[in-house]
């Protein structure tokens, strides 16, 4: 499908060819929940299926974004000719928005938008960003709050998490700092990523460089367990070192 296609809707009658073609687009979607499929199938067989505004969502790149359980139920019932609302041309990141308003777990919410490595890191990164943005370092947030912040920073999270060679080198607060700064200054993307690489490999660093002091902090702080206070400290120190590096400033001590 043309990536410039504007969203549009159409009503189609379910056929074997149509339903199977739509299910073939279910490449990056969630795993099936058989109890949901069974419930839909029972409604269809009992004549209780109703045509509503709940459409079958298809993204610009031709992936199924929503409606997989309804389609599987139709298939289970041997493709009765019931009306379907097809919505084409949805944004490729729509799954996060779709899932954030339903009772699905965080892993399901993130599977569509990210690869395995990023989907594992995104909730922790999003949690730190959410606390920072609200200056709220105690308490908990709802899944919808978390998914909204991840959706807002989706591109930056994807970029940042894929920079380190060792996916576990930077703790979530450090990654959150990189993500926030990348969002604020996308023009400094290369400088931010260069800072990350220098800190990780540790080569050609001297004691006047922010990268040197931050690398030492990364090494020592990973041995310290702490709650949100430690998350906040890590975020602040990472940001200070990163900003100093981007400004080509020297550093003697890294303070919070």
Each of the 256 residues of the chain gets a pLDDT tens digit; together they read: 444 557 888 899 999 999 999 999 887 655 677 888 998 899 899 888 877 767 788 888 888 888 888 999 999 999 999 999 898 888 766 555 454 444 444 455 455 455 556 677 888 899 999 999 999 888 887 777 787 888 888 889 989 999 999 988 999 999 999 999 999 999 999 999 999 999 999 999 999 999 999 999 999 887 777 688 899 999 999 999 999 999 999 999 998 7
pLDDT of residue 32: 73
Q: Regarding beta strands 8-13 and 64-66, do their DSSP bridges make them parallel or antiparallel, or are they unpaired?
A: unpaired
pLDDT of residue 156: 92
CB neighbourhood size of 24 (10 A)? 10
The set of residues, in sequence order, having a beta carbon less than 8 Å from that of 119 and lying 6+ positions away, is 107, 110, 111, 113
pLDDT of residue 147: 77
pLDDT of residue 181: 97
Number of alpha carbons in the 13 Å side-chain half-sphere of residue 120: 7
pLDDT of residue 3: 43
Residue 247, phi then psi, degrees to nearest 5: -95, 5
pLDDT of residue 110: 54
For the chain, domains (ranges, CATH) are 8-92 (3.90.1530.10), 99-246 (no CATH)
Three-state secondary structure call for residue 29: coil
The set of residues, in sequence order, having a beta carbon less than 8 Å from that of 1 and lying 6+ positions away, is 58, 60, 61, 62, 88, 89
pLDDT of residue 29: 54
pLDDT of residue 92: 67
CA 83 to chain centre: 33
Q: With DSSP H G I counted as helix, E B as strand and the rest as coil, what are the percentages for the chain, rounded to 5?
A: 55, 10, 40
């Amino acid at each position: 499908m043309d990536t410039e296609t504007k969203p549009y809707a159409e009503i189609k009658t379910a056929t074997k060819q149509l339903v199977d073609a739509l299910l073939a687009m279910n490449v990056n979607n969630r795993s099936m929940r058989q109890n949901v499929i069974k419930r839909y199938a029972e409604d269809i067989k009992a004549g209780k299926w109703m045509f509503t505004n709940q459409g079958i969502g298809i993204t610009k790149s031709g992936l199924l974004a929503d409606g997989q359980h309804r389609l599987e139920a139709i298939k289970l019932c041997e493709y009765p000719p019931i009306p379907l609302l097809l919505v084409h041309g949805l944004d490729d990141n729509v799954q996060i928005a779709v899932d954030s308003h339903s009772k699905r777990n965080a892993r399901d919410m993130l599977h569509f938008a990210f690869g395995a490595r990023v989907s594992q890191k995104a909730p922790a990164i999003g949690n730190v960003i959410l606390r920072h943005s609200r200056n709220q370092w105690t308490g908990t947030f709802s899944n919808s709050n978390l998914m909204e912040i991840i959706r807002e920073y989706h591109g930056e999270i994807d970029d940042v998490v894929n920079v380190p060679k060792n996916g576990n080198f930077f703790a979530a607060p450090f990654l959150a700092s990189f993500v926030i700064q990348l969002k604020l200054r996308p023009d400094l993307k290369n400088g931010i990523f260069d800072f990350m690489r220098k800190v990780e490999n540790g080569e050609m660093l001297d004691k006047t460089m922010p990268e040197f002091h931050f690398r030492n902090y990364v090494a020592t702080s990973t041995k310290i367990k702490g709650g949100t206070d430690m998350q906040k400290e890590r975020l602040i120190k990472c940001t200070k070192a990163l900003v100093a590096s981007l400004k080509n400033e020297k550093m003697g001590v890294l303070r919070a």
